[in-house]
A = this chain, B = another copy of it.
Amino acid sequence: MSALKLTLAQLADCCEGRIVGSHELLIDGVANLGNADERKISLFSDKKYSSELATTGAGAVITSPSLADLVPGNKLIVANPLLALARILQAFHAKLSSLPDAEEISDRAFLAPGVKLGEKVRIGANAVVSRNAVLGDQVSIGPGVVIGDAVHIGAFTRIDANVTIYNDCRLGRRCHVSSGAVIGADGFGFAETSGKQRPEWVAVPQVAGVIIGDDVHIGANTTIDRGSLEDTIISDGVIIDNLVQIAHNVTIGRHTAIAGCAGIAGSTRIGENCKIGGRASILGHIEICDDVVVFADSYVTKSITSPGIYSAALPAMPIKQWHKLVARLRRG
């Protein structure tokens, strides 16, 4: 990991923690309880892992007030252990990057006429930035990325390799888009002809775009379609995992989290502070109010007007038991 060494006192400063034990203990990184040595700090935030506390080699342990009594040795007690972990990892890995950062604009990048660049923009090899695109200060564009005409990208936003962003889409500041994501492809809007002849699908032109706020994370191979008449909107602070489908005209409210493989159908509005579980499906043309949790693998078919937890995922069971259950269901 990092070559940096920090005292437990310095780590406590990062995360507003309270130390029990040696303030001067030197730590050189973070590791799980099962792997840590005396120079590492570990996280203990779930009783499920209590047995690992007894045998851990960790020099110190981050934990919460309610679990602190279970932890022997040096401890760093914090209100929010996962947040403390994030802060401590940031301290150790001040310049962390999971893809190589271009140090400058690669001479193998292609910038079309009319592109405007802020300060210290980095652009990787074989990236394509089309006419009149605007990249804010310190934007980082990975290799192989394609940025469409008149796209706006706010300062400090990082676009990883092989992402595609279609014309006229806008991303805010400090966003992160993982590789393979596609933003602004045409929504799935088709009109069906009828009459005496064989029916045809006629594409409805998708003339609006995608507006993405500040501090948004978009996972690998996720797709967010452009709007038909009004923009698809992803509000500030939304986090979206991998392989998620967000259809045209969808609006996602501030600080909502969407886990991997979820799908949101067209024109649906999701409120603020929602948590949409992995593989959840949400039907089109409905509204989900603020503060709703949809469990993984559940299917939402109607608008939800009360905050709370919603589910409809049957847990897998041994096949014989399952066959009996299905038979019973069918008999009624």
Please report A residues at the B interface, Cβ cutoff 8 Å. Answer: 1, 30-32, 35, 48, 79-80, 82-83, 85-87, 89-90, 92-93, 96-100, 108, 110, 112, 124-126, 128, 130-131, 142-144, 146, 148-149, 160-162, 164, 166-168, 176, 178-180, 182, 184-186, 188, 190-194, 198-207, 215, 217, 219-221, 223, 225-226, 229-230, 237, 239, 241-243, 245, 247, 254-255, 257, 259-261, 263, 265, 273, 278-279, 281, 283, 285, 294-302, 306, 308-319, 322, 324-326, 328-330, 332
Contacts and interface: CB of A to CB of B under 8 A. Distances in A.
Contacts of A226: 98
A144 B179 CA distance: 13
22 contacts: A80-B191, A85-B204, A98-B148, A98-B185, A99-B146, A99-B166, A146-B161, A146-B162, A164-B220, A223-B243, A245-B278, A261-B263, A281-B296, A298-B316, A299-B314, A299-B316, A306-B318, A311-B316, A311-B317, A314-B329, A315-B326, A325-B332
This protein's copies in its complex: 3
A294 B254 CA distance: 33
